[in-house]
Amino acid sequence: MRPGDIVVVKRTVGAFHDTGLDDQLRRRGVASVVLAGLVTTMGVESTARAASDHGYEVEFVADAMSGFTADEHDFTVERIFPRFGEVRNAADYE
């Protein structure tokens, strides 16, 4: 961790519900979020939907997440995520 990092303790699948994340991001003037993690079809997708509902621009780092199965992951990355934001790979951030 670095100074200024926001720590979010999730108690549900998504990172926004009952965590204060939205308030923390708004205080800092954040307008977009970059998502990665586990599980593509659960935590990442739930967080993406909530981020979109809250008005954030969403980016996905497809090769920095994984699903229960490759088929589920691929379907979500190729068909669902583009409806919410830009799908990229980690190399795009170097």
Residue 32 near residue 60 (C-beta atoms within 8 A): no
Reported pTM: 0.92
Q: What are phi and psi of 19, to 5 degrees?
A: -120, -15
Q: Residue 1 has what pLDDT?
A: 87
Cα torsion angle, 63, 86, 21, 18, sign: negative
Token couple for 80: 């669902």
Q: Residue 94 has what pLDDT?
A: 87
Q: Residue 8 has what pLDDT?
A: 87
Token couple for 37: 């993690």
Residue 22 has pLDDT above 90, yes or no: yes
pLDDT single digits (tens) 35-82: 999 999 999 999 999 999 999 999 999 999 999 999 999 999 999 999
| Alpha-carbon span 8 to 91, nearest angstrom | 26
| Alpha-carbon span 38 to 14, nearest angstrom | 11
Q: Residue 4 has what pLDDT?
A: 81
